[in-house]
A and B are shown apart, each in its own frame.
Chain A
Amino acid sequence: MSATARRIWSVYGGYALGFVSLFVIWHLAAVYLVGSVLFPSPTVVFRKGWVLARTGVLWEHLSASLQRILAGFLAGSLLGMPIGLAMGSFRPVRRLLEPYTEFLRFIPSVAMITVAVIWFGIGEASKIFLIIYTTIFIVIINTAAGVSAIAPDKIRAAQSLGATRAQIFLHVALPATVPYILTGMRLAMANSFTTIVAAELIAANDGLGKLLWDGRLFMLVDDIFVSLVTLGLLGFAVDRLFRWGIFVFAGKYSPAT
């Protein structure tokens, strides 16, 4: 085995093996342990998934959900960052805004679905509102925590090197906080998946949650499982993509280092 092959194996081999074992165990459990149509085996689910993909139904639902997540996630992150920075930098701002963040973050986005639907209807607006809602507080809290976690010596060094307050913010506080912001965004992404499914379950015309709900309504158990597997794989892929993006575009700010 060449060095690169070994490296690829060490990185992806574990993942591949993990997924294979997951599906094998699932298969064994479905066929030999349960043996009911209510718990289809992975072969049945993948065959159904293939059919839904070929007819375009799966893509329709998938892209609907993904677009909502992306729009809400980006808006929530972009709003959350400056608020978090301000809260972390200025104590009066923190005192002023903490009641909001500490009050609202304990009201789960799932509980806000009803309000969102009443306010914005069952269209896109209510979904994007919910994703923003579920994203923004995590990003705010992580960003603010990042600002307060900056080592005092970093600020002091900048002061005694002649940096102004604005320069310290721009060239020290901001870059030092980036790993925390990215971590907050990663957590928010996971939350977005939970929220979008719940929202689509209750009120939507399309999306993976709608696929799930229709499956229940018409007793299409295979469809339910296609939706579940798609959600799992999609979440996994998006998280990897996010980590890869951090690695490529913000390597030196990576939370890992």
Chain B
Amino acid sequence: MTSLCPQMWTQLSHRRSWRVNEELDRLEWRSMSAPLVSFRDVEKTYRSLQGVDYKAVEHFSVDIEAGEFFCLLGPSGCGKTTVLKMLAGFEAPTAGQILMDGRPVTGASRERAVVFQGDDSLYGWLTAVENVEFGLRMRRVARAERRERALRYLDLVGLTGQAQKYPAELSGGMKQRIQIARVLANEPKMLLMDEPFAALDAQTRALMQEELASIWQAERTTVLFITHDIDEAVTLGQRIGVMRAGPGSQVKGVIDVALNGARSRTDDVFLKYYRQVHDMIRDEVAAAVGRARRA
């Protein structure tokens, strides 16, 4: 029971009827277990240039709790990015509902910040620090305050000395750091990350994963992290939702990763989860490859 419920109880107990009881149950349910984000039977159909309908996801349902790091893992082309775009509000579902805080998502909002896969989303005419303070500037936060906050987040992602450089002058890893600092500085309720490290080299990727994990430990912002990399999912995720191969994909199963703090890739427990996820996704990858070959 949360702190809200006992108060409600004493207020209402003197005139309890079945109606009140029901109301109470509803309140209790909401305050105790309402997820931050809830996909309910979501479906998305795209129409190709040839006019053929393609169902990317179908009967897609999953809940994301406030404060958790949720990885959505799936073979390529299974609709992971589609799911993220719908939650971000860039695209509307064809059917079903996406709720955040119990309200349907109707468009993009600063509550749900997005870290994109490539560096297209950065503004090439702005310096690193100006990119980071973009959201604050749009909200008319005072210049000194937003600069101070932007520099703090650049510091957090390890770009202290690069504030005055333009994105074109920075490496791929640094550009992704700017993106991460930019969304954190805007203080969203939730981060949506679409394979943010996929284009980086292996060493940089491992380093960025470590840093993201420690940033998340400190900030505890809810994260939906899209990836096709099992290793990445087990390294970062608290829960891993494994998706089926498309078309008409949905979550095949959710795995709780009971690992805390530093996760070593050579630990037995890490390997246990890796194997578990691997077993779940193996058939789906084979299906995706087979389907691509036939199509």
Contacts and interface: CB of A to CB of B under 8 A. Distances in A.
Interface of A: 151-154, 156-164, 167, 171-172, 175-176, 178, 252-253, 257
Given A162-B110, A162-B186, A157 B138 contact: no
Interface of B: 88-90, 107-110, 112-114, 116, 118, 120-125, 134-135, 137-139, 166, 168, 182-183, 186, 188, 192
Given A156-B114, A171-B137, 17 more contacts: A152-B120, A153-B120, A153-B121, A156-B108, A156-B116, A157-B116, A157-B121, A157-B182, A160-B88, A160-B114, A161-B183, A162-B110, A162-B138, A162-B139, A164-B138, A167-B138, A252-B124
Top 8 A-B pairs, shortest CB-CB distance:
A162-B110, A161-B135, A159-B108, A151-B120, A153-B121, A157-B121, A153-B120, A163-B138
A257 B120 CA distance: 14
Contact of B110 (A152, A153, A156, A160): A160
A166 to B, nearest CB: 10
B283 to A, nearest CB: 33
Contact of B134 (A151, A161, A178, A253): A161
B168 A156 contact: no
A28 B158 CA distance: 63
16 contacts: A153-B118, A154-B120, A157-B121, A158-B134, A159-B108, A160-B192, A161-B135, A162-B186, A163-B134, A163-B138, A171-B134, A171-B138, A252-B124, A252-B166, A253-B125, A257-B124
Nearest to B119: A153
A160 B139 CA distance: 12
Given A151-B121, A160-B114, A257 B138 contact: no
Given A158-B138, A164-B138, A175 B108 contact: no
B138 A161 contact: yes
Contact of B89 (A154, A160, A161, A164): A160
B88 A175 contact: no
Given A151-B120, A156-B90, A178 B125 contact: yes
A153 B115 CA distance: 10
Contact of A257 (B108, B109, B168): B168
Contacts of B166: 252
A140 B259 CA distance: 58
A161 B123 contact: no
A45 B24 CA distance: 99
B125 A156 contact: no
A63 to B, nearest CB: 36
A67 B135 CA distance: 44
Nearest to B188: A160
Contacts of A153: 116, 118, 120-121
Contact of A156 (B88, B122, B124): B88
Contacts of B192: 160
Contacts of B137: 171
B186 A156 contact: no
A252 B116 contact: no
Contacts of A171: 134, 137-138
Nearest to A159: B108
Contacts of B139: 162
A151 B188 CA distance: 23
Contacts of B122: 157
B116 A175 contact: no
A225 to B, nearest CB: 44
A150 B186 CA distance: 23
B114 A157 contact: yes
Q: Max chain B CB contacts within 10 Å: which of A151, A175, A178?
A: A151
Contact of A161 (B107, B110, B168): B110
Nearest to B134: A161
Given A252-B125, A253-B125, A160 B113 contact: yes
Nearest to A156: B90
A209 B105 CA distance: 65
A171 B118 CA distance: 20
Contact of A154 (B109, B123, B183): B123
B125 A160 contact: no
A6 B206 CA distance: 42
A76 B110 CA distance: 40
Contacts of A156: 88, 90, 108, 114, 116, 121
Contacts of A154: 120-121, 123
A164 B140 CA distance: 12
Contacts of B89: 159-160
Contacts of A163: 134-135, 138
Contacts of A175: 123, 125
Contacts of B183: 161
Contacts of A157: 114, 116, 121-122, 182
Contacts of A162: 109-110, 135, 138-139, 186
B85 to A, nearest CB: 9
Contacts of A151: 120-121
A35 B90 CA distance: 72
